[in-house]
């Protein structure tokens, strides 16, 4: 058989294929199960060893040349089809992007990112702890005696079982246990102690529910431990934080004496505000005409007993702590009036108040982004 003539005819027909369908038909004709070249391969089994040595390489060479030609022609046809499609299609880049279903970042998540950005600029690290906590970390180490009202069943969600150490287990009522864990972790890695600046954002749980309270909400706590720390450092930190968070330089603070078992002295922090357009807007002094004071967070110097529970020497190390509700900060900054809506999962509410995933808070571009 004249394999050269057969191959030449096949290559000519392949080169002349005008579309992919025609090319596929030729592939089946030559290389399919019933194809002419496949038929030649089947004849090798009937040949003598000497004939197979001569005919085998010729038939395989014919098959390889046809296969290569089919592949090259297919690539050429596909490239030509793509070029033709690109030439015929046009995109008007001035048109708005089509509407597509999209999710949004929850305001609580956005505000947590904003807070982390603000405090990171002041040298604070983010610390985390378990939401299922034991009563020692949640209460005892924070200088809350057994009779303290915060331990009462109507405030705290307790579990029926105790842990291996015999301690009661509960859903943490604040993020303050993270302060204890952070101090203990510092002592573990540095027995002499070391400066500590952390914020602890996260979920907390209390048995309460109305327009301004929910059984689960979000808090952020801050802790600074160092040598020579005093109340002035606390005031500067809070003032710097609130000015950066609300993006206003006219924030005025009022510190009022208060009581918290884990701080001494303790102060509650108020900011001045006024109503503008039916919503509270932070800024100015609360004593100015048309203004009032509003409590935004609690704070104070860390109690000696708490520092001792953290494994540090209170005669050498001092510190301050503060805490505030993330949800309420979001309500105040973005004009929301009902805390319960944060957890209803209403898509309309999320579409209105949610943030784009690309709205990443930055101090240079502004931590506040349009809702």
* Locus of tokens 């800024």: 283
Residues in the chain, total = 371
Instruction: Give yes or no for a contact between 20 and 74, defined as CB atoms under 8 angstroms apart.
Output: yes
Q: Is 64 annotated as a binding residue?
A: no
Q: What is the DSSP secondary structure assignment for residue 48, as one 8-state letter?
A: -
Long-range contacts of 144-152, Cβ-Cβ distance < 8 Å, separation of 24 or more: 144/261, 144/262, 145/261, 148/261
CA-nearest of 200, 197, 44, 56 to 121 is 197
* CA dist., res. 357 & res. 349, Å (int): 17
Instruction: Give yes or no for a contact between 222 and 262, defined as CB atoms under 8 angstroms apart.
Output: no
In Å, what is the CA distance from 346 to each residue of 104, 130, 330? 12, 28, 17
CA-nearest of 259, 261, 260, 250 to 286 is 250
Instruction: Summarize the annotated binding site as residue ranges.
Output: 264
Instruction: Summarize the annotated binding site for Mg(2+) as residue ranges.
Output: 264
């Amino acid at each position: 058989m004249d394999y050269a003539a057969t191959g030449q005819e096949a290559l000519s027909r392949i080169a002349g294929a005008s579309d992919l369908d025609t090319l596929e038909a030729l592939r089946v004709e030559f290389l399919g199960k019933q194809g002419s070249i496949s038929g030649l391969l089947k004849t090798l089994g009937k040949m003598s060893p000497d004939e197979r040595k001569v005919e085998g390489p010729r038939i395989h060479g014919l098959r390889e040349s046809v296969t290569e030609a089919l592949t090259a022609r297919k690539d050429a046809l596909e490239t030509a089809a793509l070029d033709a499609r690109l030439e015929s299609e046009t995109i008007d880049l001035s048109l708005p992007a089509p509407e597509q279903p999209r999710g949004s970042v929850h305001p609580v998540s956005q505000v947590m990112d904003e807070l982390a950005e603000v405090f990171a600029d002041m040298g604070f690290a983010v610390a985390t702890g378990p939401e299922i906590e034991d009563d020692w970390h949640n209460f005892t180490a924070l200088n809350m005696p057994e009779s303290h009202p915060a331990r009462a069943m109507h405030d705290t969600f307790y579990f029926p079982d105790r842990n291996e150490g015999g301690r009661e287990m509960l859903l943490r009522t604040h993020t303050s246990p993270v302060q204890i864990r952070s101090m203990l972790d510092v002592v573990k890695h540095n027995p002499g102690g070391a400066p500590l600046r952390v914020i602890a954002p996260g979920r907390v749980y209390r048995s309460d529910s109305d327009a301004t309270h929910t059984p689960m909400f979000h808090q952020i706590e801050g802790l600074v431990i160092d040598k020579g720390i005093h109340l002035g450092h606390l005031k500067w930190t809070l003032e710097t934080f609130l000015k950066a968070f609300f993006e206003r330089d006219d924030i005025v603070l009022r510190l009022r004496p208060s009581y918290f078992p884990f701080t001494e002295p303790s102060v509650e922090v108020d900011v001045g505000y006024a109503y503008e357009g039916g919503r509270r807007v932070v800024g100015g002094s609360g004593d100015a005409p048309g203004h009032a004071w509003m409590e935004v967070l609690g704070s104070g110097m860390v109690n000696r007993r708490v520092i001792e529970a953290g494994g540090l020497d209170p005669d050498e190390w001092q510190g301050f702590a503060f805490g505030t509700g993330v949800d309420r900060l979001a309500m105040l900054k973005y004009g929301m009036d009902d805390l319960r809506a944060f957890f209803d999962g209403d898509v309309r509410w999320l579409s209105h108040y949610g943030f784009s995933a690309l709205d990443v808070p930055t101090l240079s571009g502004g931590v506040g982004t349009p809702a």
